[in-house]
Structure 1
Amino acid sequence: MPSLRHEALLELFRNRPVLAAELLRDALGIELPAYAEARAESAELTEAVPTEYRADLVVQLWGDTPRLAIVVEVQLSPDEEKRYTWPVYLTHMRAKLRCPTVLLVVAPDAGVARWCGQPLETGHRGFVLKPYLAGPESIPVITRPEQARQAVELMVLSAMAHGQGEQGAAIAETVLPGLAGIDEERARFYFDLVMWSLNDAARTALEALMSSGTYEYQSEFARRYFTQGRQEGKADALLEVLDARGLQVDEQSRQRITACTELAQLERWLRKAVSVQSVQELFAS
């Protein structure tokens, strides 16, 4: 079953299909045909025999007709089965779409990337499949705010590939500028991915930027996100104190605590929680 990280990586390409073309052209130096549009299409392939194959994602580059199909595969661990299914993906999509077809494997882990980059011998003379590989060595390190603003999905991919390394703190500084111009739901999702990918020092630096009222790129989203995180943390701490003291928290009281959006109020309740004899006393003025 696909993992959350696997699906999150695919979501970057669904949200920005041209990302597949950008990686091939800019990161891997592949010459692409002229195209006007990139589309994420169904990745399902079927044969006449009752066997179904499903690639992760297919991106089509279009002019007046399909110019190139890019089979995008996210690989987070070695999987010997892919040595047999990857050639199938290419030949079936080529037959279905009637256009040149390439395989782009995205592998943020260096060891997995080395495995993915090995040529696949099909047994037929001259038919050797060597995937185009987007791994840590080819995924660009995004450290400038203007880069993040122009291609926020590439910034997130950069964080997922390099956020644990020495460039983590520099990558963190691009996050808020990159998220400032996109819708809140997508920004929240991408922020979670980046925070999950950064090392401890970079994560701490990003949190400090979010809490700083002087940071020039701090968006309304960032302020709300940081404030909400502090509120949720205080509410969780309050409930833990009450539980540790053996005080019964009824559902109505629990909802009142978790729904509170005033940090000052949560802090007052937290201080009182160490000495009150009941939850009702906690709420007494």
Structure 2
Amino acid sequence: MVSSSHEAMHRIFQDHPTLFSRVSETLGLPFPSPTAVTALPNDVTETKAVDRRIDTLLRIDTESHGPFLLAVEAQKKKDPEKSASWGYYLAYLRSKYRLPPLLLVICQDRATAEWAARPDPIGFCSWPSLTVRPLVVGPGNMPVISDPAEAVDDLALATLSTIVHGASPDIEGILKTMSTALRAVPDDVRDPVVEFIFQGLDKLPAADIWRKLVVVDLSFYKSSFFQEVRAEAKAEAKAEAKAEARAEVRAEATTARAAEDVLAVLDMRGLDVPEEARARITGCDDPDVLRGWLRQAVVATSVDDVFRTE
């Protein structure tokens, strides 16, 4: 099942098609600046074959080198079979569109990023017919943005950086930078960024940090995604309250039965129980005290003897 984190890592390129240009600049790679970007169908399935879908596929036009295809894949963990799929994607795209394809892989941990970046030659012996060599973005080469002003200047890149560093020990400071930066931007710009980060962090511990920052720093935030998160939190709190209420009812029933047992033993032994003593027994809500009274009621010669256990 595809996670929201997986979706956020590649879908941000659909919402911000020119983001690759800034990513390449960040990595120090000499790719030409795009003059146009077109989202293409991501279905690379053959007729009646295994379903194969690239996470995000873009056509990027440049003035100096012409158009190329950018296939963006979000990779959460090492997968020995993935390189073969990537090789298929690249060959298929080259054949179908007659354009040079480039594979960009987004990772959230260093080990996966290092694995994905290793060239994988496809061929026999020392003659590779094809080498799969993706461009990889991960915590090791994506810079941390710690200045709110810098984040505001390029929110898309800052959002991707935040998602990529989702498991970083410095994530709390990174998220604080983003929440501070988002105070200064309009709702229609801020809301998608907040949701992308929510989705990108997914089940990481940092998601709880982001949720609290959104509540405190962006308390006016009203997105449907956050409303769902808040509704879930309310439902959990309501369920906990019901469980506590049921536990309290059970405890009250237990103490009531214990008080009835004390009175029943005294009645069976023919001991007179004045109203004041009866009220004291039925009004006790301490199970330990009631158990002591019950033991004493078995041997007591008067009601006063029962209370001497205190």
Given the superposition, is the C-alpha separation of residues 17 and 163 from structure 1 closer, same or farther in structure 2, using an over 3 Å criterion? same
- Compute the displacement of 1:57 (Å): 1.2
Aligned partner of 1:165 in structure 2 is 168
Asked whether the equivalents of residues 33 and 67 of structure 1 are also in contact (C-alpha less than 8 Å), the reply is: no
Task: Check conservation: 2:198, 2:210, Cα contact below 8 A.
Answer: no
Structure-1 separation of matches of 2:4 and 2:226 = 23
Q: Is the 8 A contact 1:160 1:198 kept in 2?
A: no
Distance 1:243 1:41, change over 3 A: same
- Conservation of the 8 A alpha-carbon contact between 1:195 and 1:203: no
Match of 1:211 in 2: 216
Q: Is the 8 A contact 2:106 2:164 kept in 1?
A: no
Q: Is the contact made by 1:66 and 1:97 (CA closer than 8 Å) also made in structure 2?
A: no
1:181 to 181, 186, 198: 186
Question: Aligned partner of 1:55: which letter?
Answer: I
Aligned-pair identity (%): 26
Structure 1: gaps spanning 5 or more residues: 213-217, 248-285
> Hey, what does 2:68 align to over in structure 1?
68
Q: Give the match's secondary structure for 1:133.
A: strand
Distance 1:92 1:186, change over 3 A: same
One-letter amino acid of the counterpart of residue 27, structure 2: L
Contact 2:61 2:67 in 1 (8 A): yes
Q: Which has the higher contact order (CA 8 A, sep 6+)?
A: 2
- Name the structure 2 match of 1:221: 221
Measured after TM superposition, the shift of residue 141 of structure 1 is: 0.9
Give the drift of 1:146: 2.2
Q: Once structures 1 and 2 are overlaid, which stretch shifts more, 76-85 or 226-235?
A: 226-235
Q: Distance in 2 between matches of 1:47 and 1:210?
A: 47
- 2:99 aligns to what? 99
State the Cα distance separating 1:70 from its structure 2 match: 0.9
Per-residue CA shift, 1:154-205, capped at 9, x if unaligned?
22322222243343233122222247335265244135246657756x9659
2:60 is equivalent to residue 57 of structure 1: no
- Of 136-145 and 59-68, the range deviating more from structure 2: 59-68
Alignment of 1:1-285 (within 5 A): 1-23=1-23, 25-47=24-46, 50-63=49-62, 67-123=67-123, 125-126=127-128, 127-176=130-179, 177-178=181-182, 180-183=185-188, 185-193=191-199, 207=212, 211=216, 220-221=220-221, 237=237, 240-246=240-246
Inter-CA distance 246–194: structure 2 relative to 1 (3 Å threshold): same
Bigger drift between 36-45 and 232-241 goes to: 232-241
Deviation at 1:244, TM superposition (A): 2.7
CA contact (8 A) 1:107 1:136 kept: yes
Partner SS state of residue 71, structure 1: strand
**CA deviation string 1:108-137 (max 9, x = no partner):** 111111211121111063532221111111
Secondary structure of the structure 2 residue equivalent to 1:122: strand
How far, CA to CA, are the matches of 1:51 and 1:204 in structure 2? Answer: 40
- Stretches of structure 2 that go unaligned for 5 or more consecutive residues are 248-310
**What letter is aligned with 2:75?**
Q
Given that 2:144 and 2:174 are in contact with CA atoms closer than 8 Å, whether structure 1 keeps it comes out as yes
Moved more, 189-198 or 93-102: 189-198
Is contact 2:163–2:197 with CA below 8 Å preserved after alignment? no
CA distance in structure 1 between the partners assigned to 2:29 and 2:135 by the alignment: 9
Larger Rg: 2
Between 184-193 and 90-99, the greater mean CA deviation after superposition: 184-193
Q: State the distance in 2 between where 1:234 and 1:31 align.
A: 50
| 2:73–2:104 Cα contact (<8 Å) kept | yes
Report the 3-state secondary structure (helix = DSSP H, G, I; strand = E; otherwise coil) of the residue aligned with 2:34.
coil
Show CA shifts across 1:90-124 (max 9, x none). Answer: 12112222222111111111111121112111106
Q: Give the match's secondary structure for 2:118.
A: coil
* Counterpart code for 1:181: P
Taking structure 1 as the reference length, the TM-score comes to 0.68
What CA deviation, in whole Å up to 9, does each residue of 1:52-105 have, x standing for no partner? Answer: 432111121125896111111111112222121211111211222222211111
Judge conservation of contact 1:18–1:38 (CA < 8 Å) in 2.
yes
